[in-house]
Amino acid sequence: MNETDDFHPLTATRKILRSVATGALATLEPEGGAPYGSLVTVATDFDGAPILLLSDLALHTRNLKVDGRVGLLLEEHNPFEPLQGARLSLNGTIERTENADARRRFLARHDDARGFADFADFSLYRLTPGRGHLVADFGRINDLSGSDLLIDTSAAASLTDSEEGIVAHMNEDHRDALALYATRLVAMPGICDQTAPLPDGWTMTGCDPLGIDLRSDDGRHTARLDFEEAVTDAMEMCATLVALAKKARLK
């Protein structure tokens, strides 16, 4: 990957993965292998892998149970210039997961899914990327390997164990800081010149070594705040969040 000027393909790609809440899923029909596209809601696992909550009744779920090869298109929605928003096309394999942390992360991102997530026909699926294709702008087109798309969490086992408590603490005691992160430190895709009013209420839906994920309380916006340096444990995360709050207050 050739990273020039202030554009970093890997950073842009991971930001789309972490911040986009809906996407177009492509599966293969068992008879004839024709592609079938459908709209799905998306969250991410701790390492950045897409997580989807799918119903056994849906055609796309019946398709992927026969052939686990899938595609997923994610875009930074820009209602004013639809083709100007960055978009990421993934291909890879998808399989069912029973991981409790992945489930918690998905429901934190999609609170409305709590009403049906426990239905017998719904299951959580994890997509393991094989390749990514980023289109960020004219001349900014990059291919990325699956290993590039996910972050190495091997040194962050302590943070993995602490994530649920960190998220709960921030949402219960530091909602003012979350609002500052979202409204002062994050560039919001699809909001021209940052002039449109943003909600005051924000919730943290997840944290990982490279940043935090946020959702507005009205459900209309999601945001990703990347760190300048990776963190690996709860103490480093706390120090980073305090420093970011101070930075936001100065803006």
For residues 89 and 133, membership in a common domain is answered with yes
For residues 196 and 237, membership in a common domain is answered with yes
CATH number of the domain residue 216 falls in: 3.20.180.10
The amino acid present at 52, given as its one-letter code, is L
* pLDDT tens-digit map of 79-108: 556 666 789 999 999 999 999 999 999 999
* pLDDT tens-digit map of 204-223: 999 999 999 999 998 888 99
Domain C-terminal end among 118, 149, 180: 149
For residues 54 and 137, membership in a common domain is answered with yes
Q: Are 54 and 60 in contact (CB under 8 A)?
A: yes
For residues 17 and 131, membership in a common domain is answered with yes
Reply yes or no on whether the pLDDT at 195 is more than 60: no
More confident residue, 238 or 146: 238
pTM: 0.90
CATH number of the domain residue 20 falls in: 2.30.110.10
For residues 28 and 136, membership in a common domain is answered with yes
pLDDT of residue 26: 98
Strand partners, 72: 25, 90
pLDDT of residue 81: 62
The count of domains in the chain is 2
* Domain presence at residue 4: no
For residues 25 and 103, membership in a common domain is answered with yes
